[in-house]
Amino acid sequence: MNLVEEVDALWKVLLAGMLGGVGLVTLYAFGLLMVSGRVTENGGTFARVMGRAVGGACFTVVLVGAGVGLYVILAK
């Protein structure tokens, strides 16, 4: 790997790192917020159920992200 390829890889690493390390981490935090019911506490039953569903969807995306990480190790 020469210097040009190295710098090219650098940007990708930073971008992917941000996507996983910030994106998935904050999505997980958002999922926690949704399932905690704090956002939907003044709404009706439907709002609460929707809140939990959105939270569950966030956790699923995070799990898929972790799965992609595992795939990266396996496919290397």
Partner 1 sequence: MDANTLLLGVVVLTALAFDFTNGFHDTANAMATSITTGALRPRIAVALSAVLNFAGAFLSLKVAATIASGIVETGAVTLTVVFSGLVGGLAWNLLTWYFGLPSSSSHALIGGVVGATLIAAGTSAVKADGLVTKVILPAVLSPVFAIMVATVGTFLVYRITARVPEGTRFRGFRIGQIGSASLVSLAHGTNDAQKTMGVITLALIAADVLRPGSGPPFWVIAACALSISLGTYLGGWRIIRTLGKGLTEIQSPQGFSAEGSSAAVILAASHFGFPLSTTHVCSGSIMGSGVGKRLAEVRWGIAGRMAAAWVITIPAAALVGAGAWKGTDVIGGMGGVTAVFALAVAFAGALFMAARRVPVTHDNVNETWTGTLAPERERAA
Q: Using CB under 8 A as the criterion, which residues of the chain lie in contact with partner 1 when the complex forms?
A: 1-3, 6, 9-10, 12-14, 16-22, 24-26, 28-30, 32-33, 35-36, 38, 66, 69-70, 72-74, 76
Nearer to partner 1, 53 or 70 (CB): 70
Tell me the closest approach of the beta carbon of residue 61 to partner 1, in angstroms.
Answer: 13
Tell me the closest approach of the beta carbon of residue 56 to partner 1, in angstroms.
Answer: 13
Tell me the closest approach of the beta carbon of residue 46 to partner 1, in angstroms.
Answer: 21
What is residue 43's DSSP assignment? S
What would the 3-class secondary structure string for the chain be? CCHHHHHHHHHHHHHHHHHHHHHHHHHHHHHHHHHHCCCCCCCCHHHHHHHHHHHHHHHHHHHHHHHHHHHHHHHC
